[in-house]
């Protein structure tokens, strides 16, 4: 399994931007589909924010499409989430996740997780 460490969370005003980073260990990072997920306060389940396949294909949740961008740098074992036009509804703990299996989509599919980073958007 790959080890993941997120960073870049914080407190930002509505309309602002943040960039989350996720550093992955290991030499096979390029074989992994990577995902960003979030868990909002008081919600039991994590929701998918964005995912990027090992070939670079990207998918986004409808609520973040056009505002968030996922990217990866295989040379640095890094995946990023650029978040623009942040809204109070984006407040959550954001998690990075990885899996080598083909077709992984939702949070239940991913086998490796980071510890999470808090994003708080004030109105």
Give 93-102 pLDDT, tens digit per residue: 999 999 999 8
CA-CA distance, 71 to 73, in Å (whole number)?
7
Q: What's the start-to-end Cα distance of the chain, in Å? A: 39
Give 22-55 pLDDT, tens digit per residue: 999 988 999 999 999 999 999 999 999 999 999 9
> Phi and psi (nearest 5°) for 88?
-55, -30
pLDDT-based confidence at residue 105 (cuts at 50, 70, 90)? confident
CA-CA distance, 112 to 94, in Å (whole number)?
14
CA-CA distance, 100 to 66, in Å (whole number)?
27
Mean pLDDT of 8-26: 97
């Amino acid at each position: 399994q790959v080890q993941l460490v997120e960073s870049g969370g914080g407190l930002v005003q509505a309309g602002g931007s943040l960039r989350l980073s996720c550093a992955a260990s290991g030499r096979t990072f390029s074989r992994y589909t990577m995902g960003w997920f979030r868990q909002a306060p008081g919600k039991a389940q994590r929701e998918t924010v964005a995912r990027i396949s090992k070939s670079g294909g990207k998918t986004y949740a409808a609520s973040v499409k056009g505002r968030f961008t996922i990217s990866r740098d295989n040379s640095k074992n890094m995946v990023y989430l650029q978040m623009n036009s942040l809204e109070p509804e984006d407040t959550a703990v954001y998690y990075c996740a990885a899996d080598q299996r083909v077709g992984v989509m939702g949070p239940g599919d991913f086998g490796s997780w980071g510890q999470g980073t808090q994003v708080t958007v004030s109105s």
